[in-house]
Amino acid sequence: MPTLIRPATPDDAPGIAHVHVMGWRETYTGLMPEDFLARMTDDDMRTRRTAMWLDRLSGDRGGVVVATTARGVVGFAAVGPPRDHPGYDAELGALYTLREVHGYGTGRALLQAAAQAAWNGGARNLALWVLDVNPTRAWYARQGAREAGSKTDGPLTEIRMVWDDLGTLI
């Protein structure tokens, strides 16, 4: 499946929002309460995510890359300043791909492109939060991340995954 990895533009916001919402639906069905998942994947959330991504991509905040095929955006990754990762230079805020491209190396290519963007911005290490029930937690470990703590917010527990040397990803 020919896939192009490139920096995102404001025109990509609807496609990114679609992947973001579908990523939740495809990943968390059966792992989270259905009412919560329904709120995270309904049309209102898709509209809000489109506006959020349009705002981010219209500003000078960079750090968002997309994977596209002939049918449009099939994945994306976003890096930026760390929100709550003391001692880390950058945070992988999101990495989602549609299930239809799993197994083709799209996620790995997006992770590498996001790591390169963070590196180009001066980061030398990277952290992210991943839900403890997220099956991609093991995937991040296979990409060289290690677990470095956790936090609980209501019914959700997140695990901090880190790369101490961003150079290992790029």
Tell me the sheet residues that pair with 151: 158
Question: DSSP secondary-structure letter at 8?
Answer: -
Are 161 and 137 within 8 A, CB to CB? yes
- Whole-model pTM: value is 0.91
Distance CA 100, CA 70 (A): 13
Total number of domains constituting the chain? 1
Residue partners of 96: CB distance under 8 A and separation at least 6? 19, 20, 22, 23, 75, 76, 77
Paired strand residues for 161: 128, 147
Range of the domain at 95: 4-168
Give residue 1's pLDDT.
64
pLDDT of residue 38: 75
- Which residue ranges in the chain fall short of pLDDT 50? none
pLDDT at position 87? 95
Note the pLDDT of residue 154.
Answer: 84
Whichever domain contains 64, its CATH number is 3.40.630.30
Q: Which residues are CB-contacts of 132 (< 8 A; sequence separation ≥ 6)?
A: 150, 157, 158, 159
User: Angle, nearest 10°, between helix axes 13-28 and 34-41?
Assistant: 170
Q: How far apart are CA 30 and CA 6, in angstroms?
A: 33
Output the pLDDT for position 68.
Answer: 97
Q: How much is the pLDDT for 75? A: 98
